[in-house]
Amino acid sequence: MRLYALILTAVFGLAANIGHADDAAPESLGFFGQATSAMQQAGSTMQEVLLSALALSGTPYKFGGISPETGFDCSGFVRYVFNQAANLTLPHGARAISQLGKSIPVDQLQPGDLVFFNTLKKSFSHVGIYLGDGRFIHAPSSGGGVDIVNMNDAYWTKRFNGARRLDKQVVQQQGNIDATE
């Protein structure tokens, strides 16, 4: 899975240096083309968030985990990525994170938005980072590692609770996290 993340990172880097290819629509290029297009449209901070998340692909799951050295749980993964890439210190816990930012309808999702699911028979018990094209990256339950999945799969569609967009100004106004420049 780390190889997959390295390939995505290389594709994104090349796409950023090559510029816009007018010959083919992103949809015709499959996930890589769509993800590259999404990366080009995302702001530089969100590009860093996405690249940081992808670089951690394959990191083992650990309940309560907060670092690549020890492993991650879902909120530890999101917290670590946003701290490293966007200098935001989020709370640990999917439910606590779900209180931050702005609620986003599913049809307005953008790369870097947070997606929340009911995986423990409790609302907002799981969180991941939306990548684009219906996919998100997350730290799944025990036995897995940080992975990319399709949120349109029946399992995730049935459990979807909502999405949030973290914006430094909005988050700072909410006073729930430390957001330093």
AA identity, residue 116: F
How far apart, in whole angstroms, are the C-alpha atoms of residue 162 and residue 159? 9
Angstrom distance (rounded) from CA 36 to CA 68: 25
Say if residues 154 and 141 touch (Cβ distance below 8 Å): no
Q: Is 74 a catalytic residue?
A: yes
- Residues 34, 86, 101, 138: which is the catalytic one? 138
Active-site position among 54, 74, 86, 127: 74
Active-site position among 126, 135, 164, 165: 126
- Give alpha helix (H) positions in 56-167: 74-86, 94-97, 154-159
Do residues 51 and 84 lie in contact, with contact meaning Cβ atoms separated by under 8 Å? no
User: Does the annotation mark 4 as catalytic?
Assistant: no
Establish whether 92 is a catalytic residue: no
Phi and psi angles of residue 138, each rounded to the nearest 5 degrees, phi first: -155, 170
Residues recognised as catalytic: 74, 126, 138
